[in-house]
Chain A
């Protein structure tokens, strides 16, 4: 599969002729993957490319691209979500490669394990892949049978693990190269030969590694797997008879799925907070769309609306592809949402309690996360820290509590309506060095000061590590009646140079 994944985008490769992928290794470029034709020509993984070229005429060689391999495998893993919500990609740590699908409780949806395997094989063949598939009770046995087993015995029944593994070579235990060669020297060739040996010598000699793999394959030791996507709390999926292409059809399908999901969620008294829509393309590509909701909801109309806004934001057009043959909606995070009374009065004018959350959701879907904000007061006398700008949360405002908080937080001195994110330096003429300015120049315009109120001295918070100094703030009115919030940086006399002045905000 590795070679196939890489060869797909290439231009003039002939997959029927010997083809190898090489990576720099000891003594030069070495083969890391090869196709069937190259295998039949007597090449193997780890051979030097120069030796291989002398053995095989017209050998096709390409550089290995592990990043693209991993990306292709991830895409395939996403695609495999159509069979089961738990799909894990084997990694180096588990000593294996390929994909693992946990089909517990899923097989009957496809008409049994045999039909599932046949379906999976047919679809993978359609993508130009040559899969080796196996079903077993444990991940380790499935891997061993898939790689080394007989092609007509791909399904290992429960309890048959020992029989299935017995004839397989040692490599089927996912051992490292050293352990394998040591095993060969000790005379063990088949897994069945070590199954009934005393365990203690193996544990001492092989660091417990061999026994762990054996136990994992036999189901005596756990084998944790990392799914490519977090398993969903709730999911719904639909396969289409004909591929769908238009945005409207996608929305209709999503709505149908959400109606199903909303019933499941209602049973749990839950609402979705994070929803993922997966669109399975005919060409094997999967388009995942993630939606975050400001408040738990199970209203299909609302979520469909968000999906529509999200689709609008997509860079490329949905309708340029080959279409989608299946769609799934996963609820990744659900929160408690009890039934609410919608109101005694029948008047349409009542604001719905979820209205604000829905508005925030819709605005964020189109404008991006963080576009909708609220200002929260924060207990600090430093002007830049006296408020926190947060993404809007839909908690309904409690007027009495918040107005108390606001009142206690309002500083006695005037504060500007608009605060510059970064104070801007101005040139100032002052009558006396530590007095208010008489004239200042900001952004190329000279303002003559008619009146000034201040100073209000604000010292930096000593418990925070800052290089800031004291600031003397003045509310300065120019002759046109405009007001500015100016400050002098540092105390007068502390520094040799003339004091610096900054504009920090403007008043109405």
Chain B
């Protein structure tokens, strides 16, 4: 077991970042896949908060693509803010709202700082809502996130005819409170809309695999 308990805990802040500049779309895709899986198990809308700068290079979230990922866009609220400070304010506002969002994800250009992360941690703890902050690549900052993930693109799975089937990511857990770090190759099944460990890694102990499935 790499993650404590049964997986990515709700009620705390998780920190994700792209490994490199070019991996930002991959990291965003991983985040969207994670939102899609969270929407399946929890009730309430998902709130995706982005700053104008964070996605300026990459374009806008595209509904048909998100739906192919299995994300129910009718339950997705996209909030665009001018700067990171507003984004963290919006995250806290969403956390404390009566709408009881199932999951809150923030995409910012810079990593969340210590004060903001502690504040969000405290707010998230009250409602057991999972909270993820995704930001661009850069040296890690000091903050109160429970886990820190680094996402890199990986060649997608192709079937024997060469057609694309599943997305894949190199996922590194760099820090985990009460857990052990690790690295996995994770793929997103387009049929069941679930994360799973890639086959090449499937000789791990079943416990680890099961833990991660529940984790993400």
A interface with B by C-beta (< 8 Å): 349-352, 354-356, 358-360, 362-363, 366-367, 371-377, 383, 386-387, 389, 392, 397, 399, 402-403, 406, 409-411, 414-421, 445, 450-451, 453, 475, 477, 480-483, 505-508
Contact = CB atoms under 8 A, between A and B. Distances in A.
Nearest to B127: A349
Given A375-B61, A453-B164, A418 B78 contact: no
A417 B82 contact: no
B214 to A, nearest CB: 22
Contacts, number: 185
Contacts of B64: 377, 383, 386-387, 409-411, 415
B61 A418 contact: yes
Most buried by B among A350, A356, A372, A451: A356
Contacts of B26: 482, 508
Contacts of A373: 77-80
B77 A417 contact: no
Interface in B48-78: 55, 58-69, 72-78
Contact of A416 (B44, B65, B72): B65
A482 B18 CA distance: 13
Interface residues of B, number: 59
Interface of B: 22-23, 25-26, 28-30, 32-33, 43-45, 47, 55, 58-69, 72-82, 86, 89-90, 93-94, 97-101, 153-156, 158, 162-164, 167-169, 188
B80 A371 contact: yes
Given A397-B45, A506-B59, A367 B74 contact: no
Chain B binding surface, main DSSP class:
mixed
B82 A377 contact: no
Nearest to A356: B99
Considering the complex of A and B, which 7 residue pairs feature the smallest CB-CB distances, nearest first? A508-B29, A355-B98, A355-B99, A481-B155, A375-B63, A387-B63, A419-B62
13 contacts: A350-B100, A355-B100, A362-B93, A367-B81, A373-B78, A397-B45, A416-B65, A418-B25, A419-B60, A480-B153, A481-B153, A482-B25, A508-B30
A206 to B, nearest CB: 61
Given A386-B63, A417-B29, A507 B79 contact: no
Nearest to A503: B59
Given A453-B164, A482-B26, A505-B62, A417 B43 contact: no
B25 to A, nearest CB: 4
Nearest to B167: A508
A359 B99 contact: yes
A375 B158 contact: no
